[in-house]
Amino acid sequence: MSQSLAERPTRTRSTVFPVLGAISFCHFLNDTMQSLLPALYPILKGSFALDFGQIGFLTLVYQITASLLQPLVGLVSDRKPRPYSLPVGMGFTLMGLVTLAFAPSYLLLVCGAALLGIGSSVFHPESSRIARLASGGAHGLAQSVFQVGGNFGTAMGPLLAAYFVLPRGRESLAWFALAALGGMALLGILGRWYEQTSRTQAGKPSLTVLHAHLSRVQVGKALLILIALVFSKYFYLASITSYYTFYLMHHFGLPVRTAQTYLFVFLAATAAGTIIGGPVGDRIGRKLVIWVSILGVLPFTLMLPYAGLNATIALSILIGLILSSAFSAIVVYAQELMPGRVGTVAGLFFGFSFGMGGLGAAVLGELADHTSIEFVYHVCAYLPAIGLLTAFLPNLRDIKTADTAPSPKT
């Protein structure tokens, strides 16, 4: 399937790779610190005598906090961008880490998880806008570069927990406050570039994507399908990020450190796969990437509950590589459906993904308590079948025209 000339990205300026690299690195720092929460679950389970339901509730609080606030932050930033809100968001992440490091009770652990969620809700919409502003028209590439930083950060969580936090104790989380301070300084510099670039481009012609063949109802239906696809992706991922270590420990008798290392392998595969979806979508069309990414993992998820240890690791790598390529394509596809709503779309889809991850962790934790951790993976194996809904997404026939609308004021 090839993309027509009209569907390919039209560039009015070159891609600003130093800015893309910097915002991706900040995404790496942000998600590294936030991924320490699920990576700590085996430690917290023993220290506070938590059951799977309580672990799932921690994830629910963290991700629902981010889910509810991110669309609101995106909507506000579309009306009036706030470049210097990014360091503030990472400041909330810093406070969340310190709270988790020294919390004497489960209630304060919940408060720490909520602070992490607030930090995420502020960070993602505005940083996604910076990535698009630096894209030079290669929106899929920019979204993938931005997203891959976050995915590598998520992958680092279990590795840092296994080899740094576990030997030194939960209080060692406080050392990551130094990384947060460095991220806040870099985000301040990026905020200045964002503000200056927005002023320079104010009043200049910009590209607007028109979909004259799509009605408002068709756009709404397409968004609902995309949301269903995000649900299938992140509900399945919740079974891995929150419970994969427990599955490996219970099903194969692995020690905590080895199980955490295998979780890192899966998350590293998702990070590597992320970089594929955006640029490939720029070339061949985002709908095809979404098709392959969601539905393509179904045979592997169906096999995983019946596999031995080595096959389980291999299948998890394939699942991570294929499934992770969808999100960048989904976000950019949605931004093309709703031109001029970059922050709103980013906030909606990042927020919904966090919410589904949190809800999935809570529901699957209760399911594991009442059945078994193995049963969770038998049920979740069928979630990628929701990818069949991709057939009902419209084929975007993009018409890119010059538009004299000014850029949002800073």
The answer on 292 and 184 residing in a single domain is no
C-alpha to C-alpha distance for 279 and 142, rounded to whole angstroms: 8
7 inside domain = no
207 inside domain = no
Most confident of 15-19, 28-32, 279-283: 28-32
135 pLDDT above the threshold of 50: yes
- 74: which residues sit within 8 A by CB, 6+ positions away? 125, 343, 344, 345, 346, 347, 348, 351
pLDDT band at 402 (very low <50, low <70, confident <90, very high): very low
6 pLDDT above the threshold of 60: no
C-alpha to C-alpha distance for 247 and 386, rounded to whole angstroms: 24
pLDDT at 94: 93
CATH of the domain at 49: 1.20.1250.20
The answer on 271 and 323 residing in a single domain is yes
175 inside domain = yes
On the 0-12 / 13-18 / 19+ scale of CB atoms within 10 A, 391 is exposed
**Which tokens hold the place of 14?**
């070159």
pLDDT at 249: 93
The answer on 362 and 255 residing in a single domain is yes
158 inside domain = yes
C-alpha to C-alpha distance for 201 and 311, rounded to whole angstroms: 52
99 inside domain = yes
**How many of the other CB atoms lie within 10 Å of CB of 18?**
10
Number of domains in the chain: 2
396 pLDDT above the threshold of 80: no
Express each pLDDT in 230-257 by its tens digit. 899 888 988 898 889 999 999 999 998 8
User: Where a domain ends, among 152, 168, 196?
Assistant: 196
pLDDT at 207: 46
Express each pLDDT in 301-321 by its tens digit. 999 999 999 999 999 999 999
Express each pLDDT in 328-351 by its tens digit. 888 888 888 887 777 778 778 877
pLDDT at 378: 94
pLDDT at 270: 86
The answer on 190 and 283 residing in a single domain is no
pLDDT band at 2 (very low <50, low <70, confident <90, very high): very low
168 inside domain = yes
pLDDT at 387: 92
pLDDT at 397: 53
The answer on 165 and 241 residing in a single domain is no
User: Where a domain ends, among 162, 196, 230?
Assistant: 196
Average pLDDT, the chain: 82
1 pLDDT above the threshold of 60: no
pLDDT at 4: 37
272 pLDDT above the threshold of 50: yes
C-alpha to C-alpha distance for 380 and 372, rounded to whole angstroms: 13
The answer on 222 and 128 residing in a single domain is no
Q: What is the 3-state secondary structure (H, E, C) of 55-91?
A: HHHHHHHHHHHHHHHHHHHHHHHHHCCCCCHHHHHHH
The answer on 223 and 134 residing in a single domain is no
The answer on 352 and 276 residing in a single domain is yes
pLDDT band at 201 (very low <50, low <70, confident <90, very high): low
Residue 125 in contact with residue 195, Cβ under 8 Å?
no
The answer on 380 and 244 residing in a single domain is yes
Residue 6 in contact with residue 399, Cβ under 8 Å?
yes
pLDDT at 318: 94
pLDDT band at 204 (very low <50, low <70, confident <90, very high): low
Percent of residues, the chain, with pLDDT higher than 90? 29
Per-residue pLDDT, averaged over 294-304, amounts to 94
The answer on 241 and 384 residing in a single domain is yes
**Domain boundaries, position 45:** 15-196
pLDDT at 404: 35
The answer on 226 and 326 residing in a single domain is yes
Strand partners for 402: 207
pLDDT at 202: 55
Residue 324 in contact with residue 277, Cβ under 8 Å?
yes
Which has more confidence, 383 or 78? 383
191 inside domain = yes
Most confident of 204-208, 212-216, 233-237, 357-361: 233-237
10 inside domain = no
pLDDT at 379: 93
Per-residue pLDDT, averaged over 159-174, amounts to 84
**Which tokens hold the place of 259?**
């199980």
5 pLDDT above the threshold of 90: no
403 pLDDT above the threshold of 60: no
Express each pLDDT in 37-93 by its tens digit. 877 887 888 888 888 888 888 888 887 787 778 888 777 777 777 777 889 889 999
C-alpha to C-alpha distance for 236 and 295, rounded to whole angstroms: 13
User: Where a domain ends, among 138, 166, 196?
Assistant: 196
pLDDT band at 167 (very low <50, low <70, confident <90, very high): confident
The answer on 282 and 242 residing in a single domain is yes
User: First CA to last CA across the chain, in angstroms?
Assistant: 41
